[in-house]
Structure 1
Amino acid sequence: MTRYVVIGAGIVGLATAHRITLDHPDASVTVIDKEPRVAAHQTGHNSGVIHAGVYYKPGSLKARLCAAGRASMVDFCATHGIAHEICGKLIVAADESEVPRLHALHERAVANGLPARLVGAAEAKEFEPEIRCVAALRVESTGIVDFTAVCTTLADLAEKAGATLRLGTKVTGITARGGEQVVHTGSGDVVADVLINCAGLHADRVARLAGVEPPARIVPFRGEYFELTPERRGLVRGLIYPVPDPQFPFLGVHLTRMIDGTVHAGPNAVLALAREGYRWSKINPRDVGDLIGYAGLWRLARKHYRYGLTEVRRSLSRRLFAESLARLVPAVTEADLVPAGAGVRAQAIARDGGLVDDFLIVARDRQVHVLNAPSPAATSSLEIAKHIVAQLPT
């Protein structure tokens, strides 16, 4: 019997544990997470969008696993009675200068085999009457879901299949002992044959504990959200996105109708001063020290400091946040927005200052480390799990 230990009870870790129980029903599977609940960080703070896969380089892991993952996620939700909706979305060119980028995005969508089509301003208004645009890309296969509910179901299925969840259990060290992986925790050791690191915001640190030097460093970016007041939710029917800047992995502030009927606005993207820094006041000295000492971050900052300053200003000003949204829906005003929390994106940055654009999964000596899995990892999670399990020694 092969013993597997999965570090991280976010959606990728839980999907992987569930996949192991399906593919290797005789295996022993243990999931460890320092938090007392599943989906405590990236998964539980995201926008709840089932992405179609428009943005990603054809042939990349993101493009392949997102397209397949969207279908898998919809099937999983339908099978297990998890509320979801395939509502489609509009990616909006607010002025003529953005039209060439919109056309390039359409070409990428076509290359990825997605049902996306260019529409004029009049047809775009049939989907979203309150938008202002000169053209838009309609992506029919985008949807919405509560990914925390997906995690709860994955955890339940894994446990029913014999997996053990050790929540509230912090990993303090990892030792290779012969052919075994010994995971040291505050409540005793877990001995396994194979280790899978899905620790998200701490994935690079877990890799180092396991003796693997990651090729990139996790840098936390906080994405702050507002919510439209209840009486203004009617301004948005579905999902409204700007045309993204291809230099960055962030999609720009957008408007998203959630599965519960609320409408979220955001996120921006500002450097967080803690890996779990959901507000400006949360500062972790160790995390700040890591940021200051990492040459890759300074190289990124020198290249994109203007973008970063814009994001900081928008973070500190609700008026500027509202103005960004008003480029998409002019009726949105500062008075329509109420704070709705934040998420932190675990973005891997290489030593040369480049943003790691694709999923980064490294296999070493009976270990697999998921070292970059930001959006669309939630959408892709069931397929990421298949990809991981296919690499595992048995």
Structure 2
Amino acid sequence: MYDFAIIGGGIVGLSTGMALGKRYPNAGIVVLEKESKWAYHQTGNNSGVIHSGIYYKPGSFKAKFCRDGCRSIVEFCQEYDIAHEICGKVIVATEEKELPRLENLYKRGLENGLKVTKISASEVKEIEPHVNCVAGIRVYTTGIADYKEVARKYAELIELQGGELRLNTKVEKIIGKGDTQVIETNNGIYETRCTINCAGLHSDRIAKLSQVDPQAKIVPFRGEYYELVPEKRYLVKTLIYPVPNPDFPFLGVHFTKMIDGSVHAGPNAVLSLKREGYKKTDFDLRDFAEVMTYPGFWKLAAKHADEGIQEIIRSFSKAAFVRSLQKLIPEVQAADLVPTHAGVRAQALMNDGKLVDDFLIVKGNNSVHVCNAPSPAATSSIEIGKAIVEQLPQPQHLQSAISV
């Protein structure tokens, strides 16, 4: 019998396991992951950015967790000597009509308590000499990190705290049994007093196995990237973002300096025909059918038809992708870019066609379900883990052993 069983070995699940071990050092904790390694999906394929929190609605979980997480993830990387760098970023308006949106973003940054400054086009060029813009914002606390290594360290700490880790263990069924739950997997049966669902791309399905309706469905969006060839990396010094369209839920193609020195350009955002579909040709009938028969998807598609079409064009046309990048750095040419990995974002979508724009944590009977944790979840992982633990009822038999 376990006190806590965590489903999902991405950065959020592992952070939760680590936080539980700190809070309840005598608890029986197990992490179940269906893949053969930790951080295999969203964590292992993200951009590696330590986000500041400038984009998120003041007072939201995303704003709070990201602002606090920006500090705690840096402290964690420093403590365990994990590669990271606080390089800052610039968000730039490339046209005069974008200036009001840039101003609104600057005000939001201030509301969220961030160190941000408005800078002129010439000041942007002092930071990023090759950028074309009319004005910008400098965000000082943005950085980059090796999140795969962060996740591996979380896993290592769980074991050091006495927790158990189970790779190659896919959850197939969850049965309520009084005050406990029985989790049936392809690799044994686990009985637990509390189930914590951090299954990312499959979080809605795991919730339903626990008889919990998250009131939203996971819709997978693939983000495709190009990489600057090594001899062109000099074009980007830090991170360069456009002013996002507030009516579209994605940030637009941008340039990201990676922790290994490479520079990635992207992503676009296209519907994936498979929840774990990292290639254009990946297809899963169940995943596809669920999206196509979900009313919320068609409402979303109708609202963002023009933007969606442009994203699809960029997916299949390198020339169109390059033109988007040239709005930021005119010198970039098609020959300067080579395809690199793609990532898949697990985005929760409600039946009315609205995207869940904050982290979504749903309570069930002896269970907690993280049903929406896209970016900035990696940045916020330590804070999300702590918040989940705070929401759990304190097990009576463990209270005397609580770690302060």
The question of a shared fold, defined as TM-score above 0.5 by the shorter chain, is answered with yes
CA-to-aligned-CA distance 1:264-303 (integer Å, 9 cap, x gap): 0011000000000101110000001101110000111111
Using the alignment, how far apart are the partners of 1:306 and 1:123 within structure 2?
A: 34
**Mapping 1:372-391, distance limit 5 Å:** 372-391=372-391
CA contact (8 A) 2:248 2:304 kept: no
Using the alignment, how far apart are the partners of 1:2 and 1:291 within structure 2?
A: 35
Q: CA deviation at 1:214?
A: 1.5
**Mapping 1:220-239, distance limit 5 Å:** 220-239=220-239
**Mapping 1:1-394, distance limit 5 Å:** 3-393=3-393, 394=395
CA contact (8 A) 2:168 2:187 kept: no
> Over aligned residues, Cα RMSD in angstroms?
0.8
SS class of match (2:165) = strand
Using the alignment, how far apart are the partners of 1:187 and 1:376 within structure 2?
A: 32
CA contact (8 A) 2:201 2:220 kept: yes
Q: CA deviation at 1:2?
A: 6.3
Using the alignment, how far apart are the partners of 1:244 and 1:382 within structure 2?
A: 27
Using the alignment, how far apart are the partners of 1:249 and 1:292 within structure 2?
A: 20
CA-to-aligned-CA distance 1:319-373 (integer Å, 9 cap, x gap): 1111111100111111111001100000000000001100000112221000000
Using the alignment, how far apart are the partners of 1:6 and 1:344 within structure 2?
A: 22
What residue identity is the alignment partner of 1:235? L
Using the alignment, how far apart are the partners of 1:173 and 1:272 within structure 2?
A: 26
Q: CA deviation at 1:248?
A: 2.4
Size of the aligned set, in residue pairs, is 394
CA contact (8 A) 2:223 2:266 kept: yes
CA contact (8 A) 2:2 2:190 kept: no
What residue identity is the alignment partner of 1:121? A
What residue identity is the alignment partner of 2:189? D
Using the alignment, how far apart are the partners of 1:92 and 1:149 within structure 2?
A: 31
Using the alignment, how far apart are the partners of 1:2 and 1:19 within structure 2?
A: 16
Q: CA deviation at 1:56?
A: 0.3
Structure 2 residue runs of 5 or longer lacking an equivalent are 396-404
Using the alignment, how far apart are the partners of 2:118 and 2:329 within structure 1?
A: 19
CA contact (8 A) 2:237 2:257 kept: yes
SS class of match (2:355) = coil
CA-to-aligned-CA distance 1:77-114 (integer Å, 9 cap, x gap): 00000010000000010010111100000000000000
Q: CA deviation at 1:247?
A: 1.6
CA-to-aligned-CA distance 1:11-31 (integer Å, 9 cap, x gap): 000000000000110101100
SS class of match (2:323) = helix
Moved more, 48-57 or 356-365: 356-365
CA-to-aligned-CA distance 1:295-317 (integer Å, 9 cap, x gap): 00011111111111100000001
Quick one: percent identity of the two aligned structures? Answer: 55
Moved more, 269-278 or 359-368: 359-368
Using the alignment, how far apart are the partners of 1:144 and 1:197 within structure 2?
A: 27
Q: CA deviation at 1:162?
A: 0.9
What residue identity is the alignment partner of 2:46? N
Equivalent residue number for residue 401 of structure 2: none
Structure 1 residue runs of 5 or longer lacking an equivalent are none
Using the alignment, how far apart are the partners of 1:261 and 1:326 within structure 2?
A: 21
Using the alignment, how far apart are the partners of 2:171 and 2:98 within structure 1?
A: 47
Q: CA deviation at 1:249?
A: 2.5
Q: CA deviation at 1:59?
A: 0.2
